[in-house]
Amino acid sequence: MSTTLPTRTEQDAEKPTGELVLRDVEKSFGVGENRVTAVDHINLTVKPGEFVTLLGPSGCGKTTTLRMIAGFESPTSGSVLLDGEDMLRLTPDRRPMAMVFQSYALFPHMTVFDNVAYGLKLRKVPAKQLKEEVGFALASMGLTALADRAPNQLSGGQQQRVALARAMVVKPKVLLFDEPLSNLDAKLRVQMRLEIRRLQRLLGISSVYVTHDQDEAMSLSDRIVVMRSGRIEQVGTPDEIYRTPESVFVADFIGRANFLDVTEASTSSREGHADITVLGQRMSARAHRDAVAAPESVLLVRPEAIRVRRFAEGDDKVAGNHGRVLNAVFYGESVEYEIETEVGTIVAVVSDPVYDEIVPVGDLVGISFDPERAWLLPAAS
Amino acid sequence: MTISNATVPRARRFSLRSRETPLDLTTRIAVVLVVLILGVLIVLPLVNILSSAVSEQGLAVFNSIFSSVNLQVLQNTVVLGVLVGAIGTVIGFLLAYVQVRLDFRGKKLLHLLALLPIVSPPFAVATAVITLFGRSGIITRDLLGITPTLYGLPGLTIVLSLSFFPAAYMNMLGLMRSLDPSLDEAAASIGANKWRTFVTVTLPMLVPGFASSFLLLFVEAIADLANPLVIGGDFTVLSSRAYIAITGEYNVGAGAAYSLVLLLPGLLVFLIQRYWATRKSVVSVTGKPAGRPAVITSIPARIVLLTLSGLLALLIVTIYATVIVGGFVKILGINNEFDLSHYRYVLSGIGSDAMITTTALALIATPIAGVLGLVIAWLITRKLRRGRALIDFLGMLGLAVPGTVLGIGYALTFNKPLGFGNVAILPALAGGGAVLGGAIAIVMVYVIRSSPSGQRSGVAALQQIDVAIDEASASLGASGVTTFRKVTLPLIRPALLSGLIYAFARSMTTLSPIIFITTPQTKIMTSQILSEVDAGRFGNAFAYCTILIVIVMSVIGLLNLFVRDSSVPKAAGLSSATIN
């Protein structure tokens, strides 16, 4: 049975491999009225060596998509190609991919060493080479001292390292991650995602990573795929997704957002901008291509783009350029204000605050922002 | 004997992760084979009982079911079931409570004693109790100077309660260990004293356990045939009535009708249990208790509990000591002279035949039952979605159907060649003229009687294994078969072992279905014991029982040696990482 398993030398070919293409992939469950479409005609190309994250709320179809790539689910229609080869006729064990699971899924009856060696043994790797490669994989994850332990003697973080080593050691063309860090505590998560990124870069393996944690997506990915109810909402680099979201949904899901009501939106003379009236002021802001044409639009201003200053007696009050502090939370590196204004509650984050200058609750503050850091969006999106 | 665990909670893991991929060839073949095997082993016999029961003779029984004689039989059966259910449950609860909540020396020993009746043959308790507490009993007449009448309801109640309480014990033990001790602590922290906590928190949580234990014992008690024959006297119950109808009156239809009445409560209880297990009532809690249950330190409570369980332990020890000693003396209690004639009788001639045949047939049946149960468990937990409940149900049926009913069904079905129209598919498998002296039918009974325990432990073990573990193996390049061999099988090995042990013990000690299909050529130990007891040769029966227990114990020991694997890392087992 080992004959048809992906041979390991393919990795050494000159041209980088691991281009994964999803074409019109659909997955539906049930029949008739009970039919539910979990994944709705998805198109996506993961370039060789690229790290792509599927991000979205639970039930958006990201896990189903990943499992179709792995072969644990079969698409209702569409195709999955790896370097041009049709993956759908292959069972999961024949696909040159390896998956890392949320529950780690270590084999409890095997030692750490045997877990990592499992895939290589299936590929009939000679004993000496096997020992070397497993040893290297363990060393690179800092697990050498734990080689003879049973999985249940390890901490959660250690277990996930073993799972990672086990998947990477077979040198798959594609690594699949199904929320691998969600069972770990916050500090460990941050550490592990750096480690995953380091190893993935080192090995240059194309990766698809599923998560609902935007921080994870931002810090790991070359590109993020934001999904919603089975559809792709936006594909882009973390920067694009954050600064120029395609929709209110994406803007809201990634990071935190203030949406300000906008009146009198019109096309600006400046490329990619629109002239708008917001918080009582006329300004020119960066705009989504459909924003001006839309019946209603809103302005996205991230909390860190809002400038807060003490409101002095003499300042003129224009509707919306000031507000009363509802709540002020000191985080050390930043202070977060909740400000009640005439246009609704606005959240502002001021970084590197001077403790003595924090505006106390109940005081009036003036609010402003740089329109270049705002983004106009169609409201119904 | 708890039937509940094998049921698969229906909506477990339902999410968009459901498997809708078409079944692979291996699975299809397995499904067809399993359905075919279960069809022959259990469905066909039951169908035959049904059709015989609606025959003229059978219908006559139904018509007269409310006649005074039959009504008395029915009433006897229910009274016996209720008494045994209640007493056995109380004994089981007491021992389980002591086991979980008390620290004392000899705890492990008490646990083993409580399980002893499972591996002992059906007559061991009855004969010993007669010898000890009967009209001329060692304890009653010789020590206390009283001559009570044991035959009938009192004797049956004592003997059946002592024989079947281990099922309640296991049931309660599992339940109490899974209770989250923080609930008791919560009650204590808001001011409930120990007694109040016990009455208002612990007991209510155990209600499902009490109910299911009671029902389980009720069914076991009314299904039992061996003891009513030996110690029932004039107290006729449904099972002994069916036996008399078939072996004494040669009225198969009537026998089938009586056993049908017997079958209904059994099936009902089985369905109720499945419903409970599916609903995951109060008890399911966290699955990961937050700690060890608090140990009871109150001196009066300890004295009461330990005295009661000590007395029970003493009773059990006395009974089995009687069995062992009884084989080595002329007539225990009357002529206590050392004597090997019973063993001479049992170990040579008829006795040794029976010993070898029974052990051989049980050894043949055990692996078959183990594999069958395991395959069913694998199908219903891992492969099937539709039809899963049906296969689960059919698989467990062998345990749910009373032995008497099963035996009558087998006699009806396999005493003649089996076929459709004139085409014979199977030759006669049971009865006088059967192939191999009816040995095949006996193996079949053993298999269908024992495979549910393999299925149950298989399902429990497989459910503990996260599906992601299978998927991880596949994703690393292992085929389905490789995954099963290298990952699944090693993980369920302990469960498989306990399933096999139980299967073997059950085969060796089963009697009620065997009585109806045993032949002169194929001698089975349990039915040999029955005729010895019937003839009043208790010494021979004691010797048989002792040998039977020794055989069962040795095979258990051997199985333990064989199936254990030393390659498993020391601290393995199902780690918290795998139970998800």
Chain A hits for B21, Cβ within 8 Å? 73-74
Q: Is position B146 within any domain?
A: no
Q: Are A29 and A38 in contact (CB under 8 A)?
A: yes
Q: Are residues B437 and B526 in the same domain?
A: yes
For residue B24, pLDDT over 80 is answered with no
**Residue-level pLDDT at A21:** 96
Residues B174 and B88 occupy one common structural domain: yes
Say how far apart CA B389 and CA A308 lie, in whole Å: 64
* Res B272 pLDDT > 90: no
Computed over every residue of chain B, the mean pLDDT equals 80
Nearest CB to B477; choose among A61, A93, A159:
A93
Q: Return the pLDDT at B514.
A: 87
Tell which of A243, A269, A293 closes a domain. A243
What residues of A are in contact with residue B569 (Cβ under 8 Å)? 109-111, 148-150
pLDDT of B577 strictly over 70: no
d(CA B455, CA B4): 12
The CA distance from A7 to the nearest CA of chain B, in Å, is 11
A214 and A362 together in one domain: no
Residues ≥6 apart with Cβ < 8 Å to A380: A248, A294, A295, A296
Which segment of A153-157, B140-144, B286-290 scores lowest on mean pLDDT?
B286-290
CB contact under 8 A, A108 and B578: yes
Res B488: pLDDT? 87
Minimum Cα–Cα distance from B464: chain A residue: A108
Cα distance from B578 to chain A (closest Cα, Å)? 6
Mean residue pLDDT of chain A comes to 88
Model confidence at A43: pLDDT above 90: yes
A71 & A195 share domain: yes
Minimal CA separation from A151 to chain B, in Å: 7
Whole-prediction pTM: 0.74
Q: Which of B265, B296, B327 is the last residue of a domain?
A: B296
Which of B475, B481, B487, B575 has the highest number of chain A CBs within 10 A, making it the mutation to test binding with A?
B475
Alpha-helical segments (H) within chain A: 62-70, 112-122, 127-140, 156-168, 186-203, 214-220, 238-243, 248-253
Q: Within this chain, do residues B277 and B370 fall inside the same structural domain, yes or no?
A: no
Which of residues 19 through 48 in chain B touch A, CB cutoff 8 A? 19-21
pLDDT for B434: 67
Q: Are residues A186 and A329 in the same domain?
A: no
Does B559 reach chain A within 8 Å, measured CB to CB?
A: no
Q: Among A93, A103, A170, select the one facing B577 at the smallest CB separation.
A: A103
DSSP bridge partners of A300? A259, A375
Among A208, A243, A278, which residue terminates a domain? Answer: A243
A286, A373: one domain: yes
| Residue at B135 is within a domain | no
Q: What is the per-residue pLDDT across B163-185, written as a single tens digit (0 to 9) for each? A: 999 989 988 888 887 777 777 77
A108 contacts B572? CB cut-off 8 A = yes
A99·B487 Cβ contact <8 A? no
E strand or H helix at B529, and its extent? helix B525-534
**Domain tally for chain B?**
2
Q: Which of A73, A122, A150 minimises the CB distance to B477?
A: A122
Same domain, B269 and B175: yes
Residues B214 and B343 in one domain: no
> Which of 46-85 (A) contact B at CB < 8 A?
59, 61, 63-64, 67, 70-74
Q: What is the pLDDT of residues A57-112, one digit of tens each?
A: 988 999 999 999 999 888 999 999 999 999 998 888 889 999 999 888 999 889 99
How wide is the angle at C-alpha B141 spanned by C-alphas B136 and B147, nearest 5°?
70
Taking residues B105-112, what's their average pLDDT? 88
Two tokens, residue A10: 């393919």
Q: Is the pLDDT of residue B10 over 50?
A: no
Q: What percent of chain A has pLDDT over 90?
A: 57
Q: In this predicted model, which residue has the larger pLDDT, B48 or B432?
A: B48
Nearest CA in chain A to B469: A105
**Cross-chain residue pair A70–B577, CB shorter than 8 Å:** no
Indicate the pLDDT class of residue B432, thresholds 50, 70 and 90: low
Per residue in B320-378, pLDDT tens?
A: 999 988 888 887 777 777 888 888 888 887 778 888 889 999 999 998 998 899 889 88
CATH number of the domain that B204 lies in? Answer: 1.10.3720.10
Q: Determine the pLDDT at residue A166.
A: 94
Domain with B97 in it: 42-120+151-281+291-296
Q: What's the helix, strand, coil split of chain A in %, to 5?
A: 30, 35, 35
- Position B326: which residue type? G
Type of residue found at A72:
F
CB distance A150–B571 less than 8 Å? yes
Task: Check whether B48 has a pLDDT greater than 50.
Answer: yes
Which of A189, A222, A243 is where one domain is finished?
Answer: A243
| Neighbour-count burial for B239-276, b at 16+ CB within 10 Å, e otherwise | bbbbbbbbeeeebbbbbbbbbbbbbebbbebbeebbeb
Angstrom distance (rounded) from CA B225 to CA B217: 14
* B113 and B210 both lie in a single domain: yes
Using the predicted structure, report yes or no on whether residue A360 has a pLDDT greater than 50: yes
Å from A176 to nearest chain B CA? 10
Please say if the pLDDT value at position A4 is more than 50.
Answer: no
Q: Please state the rounded mean pLDDT for residues B538-549.
A: 89
Are the beta carbons of A285 and A375 closer than 8 angstroms?
A: yes
Using a CB–CB cutoff of 8 Å, tell me whether B577 touches chain A: yes
B16, A29 in Cβ contact below 8 A? yes
Give the pLDDT confidence of B505-539 residue by residue, as tens digits: 888 888 888 888 887 778 888 888 888 888 888 88
Taking the CB of residue B296, how many other CB atoms lie within 10 A of it?
Answer: 17
Residues B343 and B276 in one domain: no
Mean pLDDT of A286-303: 90
Contact B477 A151 (CB under 8 A): no
| CATH code of residue A227 | 3.40.50.300
Residues of chain A with Cβ-Cβ distance to B570 below 8 Å are 150
Judged by a CB distance cut-off of 8 A, whether residue A111 touches chain B is yes
Q: What is the pLDDT of residue B425?
A: 66
A contacts of B494 (beta carbons < 8 Å): none
**Residues B76-87 pLDDT 10s:** 999 999 999 999
Q: What is the pLDDT of residue B310?
A: 92
A117 part of a folded domain: no
Give the one of A73, A92, A176 whose C-beta lies nearest to B474's C-beta.
A92
pLDDT band at B39 (very low <50, low <70, confident <90, very high): very high
B478/A contact by beta carbon, under 8 A = yes
Q: Report phi then psi at B307, rounded to 5.
A: -65, -50
pLDDT tens column, A6-15: 444 444 445 6
Which residues of chain B neighbour A59 with C-beta distances below 8 Å? Answer: 16
In a domain, B396, yes or no: yes
B296, B326, B357: which is the final residue of a domain? B296
CB contact under 8 A, B569 and A109: yes
A322 is a domain residue: yes
> What is this model's ipTM?
0.81
Please name the residues between 8 and 47 in chain A that touch chain B, using a CB distance below 8 Å: 29, 36, 38
Does residue B579 carry a pLDDT above 80?
Answer: no
Nearest to A105 among B16, B468, B478 (CB): B468
Any A CB within 8 A of B471 CB: yes
Asked whether residue B112 falls in the same domain as residue B238, the answer is yes
Chain B interface test: which of A93, A102, A115, A175 (most B C-beta within 10 Å): A93
Residue B17, chain A, CB below 8 Å: the answer is yes
Q: Both B378 and B262 in a single domain?
A: no
Chain B touched by A150 (CB under 8 Å):
yes
Amino acid B437: pLDDT: 73
Residue B140 has pLDDT above 80, yes or no: no
What does the pLDDT average to over B3-21? 39
In B280-349, alpha helices (H): 299-326, 341-347
- B491/A contact by beta carbon, under 8 A: yes
Res B286: pLDDT: 34
- Number of domains forming the structure of chain A: 2
Amino acid letter, residue A75: P
Tell me which range, A238-247, B375-384, B419-428, is most confidently predicted by mean pLDDT.
A238-247
Q: Are residues A342 and A231 in the same domain?
A: no
| Chain B contact set for A153 (CB, 8 A) | 571
Residue A59 lies in a domain: yes
**B576 touching A (Cβ < 8 Å):** yes
pLDDT higher at B311 or B412: B311
- Separation CA B445–CA B42 (nearest Å): 9
Q: Given this model, what pLDDT does residue A315 score?
A: 65
Q: What distance in Å separates the CA atoms of residue B477 and residue A99, rounded to the nearest whole number?
A: 11
pLDDT at B2 over 60: no
Same domain, B110 and B207: yes
Mean pLDDT calculated for residue range B236-253: 85
Domain co-membership, A227 together with A275: no
Residue B284 has pLDDT above 60, yes or no: no
Query: CATH number for the domain including A355?
Result: 2.40.50.140
Radius of gyration of chain B (CA): 24
In a domain, A227, yes or no: yes
* Parent domain of A56: 20-96+172-243
Rg (Cα) of chain A, in Å, rounded? 25
B476 contact A CB<8A: yes
Q: Which residues of chain A are within 8 Å of residue B18 when distances are taken between CB atoms? A: 29
Per CB-CB distance under 8 Å, the chain B contacts of A98 are 475-476
CB contact under 8 A, A118 and B466: no
The answer as to whether A150 is a domain residue is no
Token output for B324: 């062992």
Q: Can you tell me the mean pLDDT for B463-481?
A: 86
Query: How many Å apart are CA B341 and CA B338, to the nearest integer?
Result: 9
pLDDT at A266 over 90: no
In-domain check, residue A305: yes
The answer to the question of residue A137 being in a domain is no
The reply to whether B307 falls in a domain is no
Neighboring chain B residues of A74 at a CB cutoff of 8 Å: 20-21
Round to whole Å and give the CA distance between B100 and B96: 6
Q: Which of A228-237, B11-20, B442-451 has the lowest mean pLDDT?
A: B11-20
Task: Flag whether residue A170 sits within 8 Å of chain B, measured between CB atoms.
Answer: yes
Residues A279 and A308 in one domain: yes
Residue B578 has pLDDT above 50, yes or no: no
| Phi, psi at A16, each rounded to 5° | -65, 135
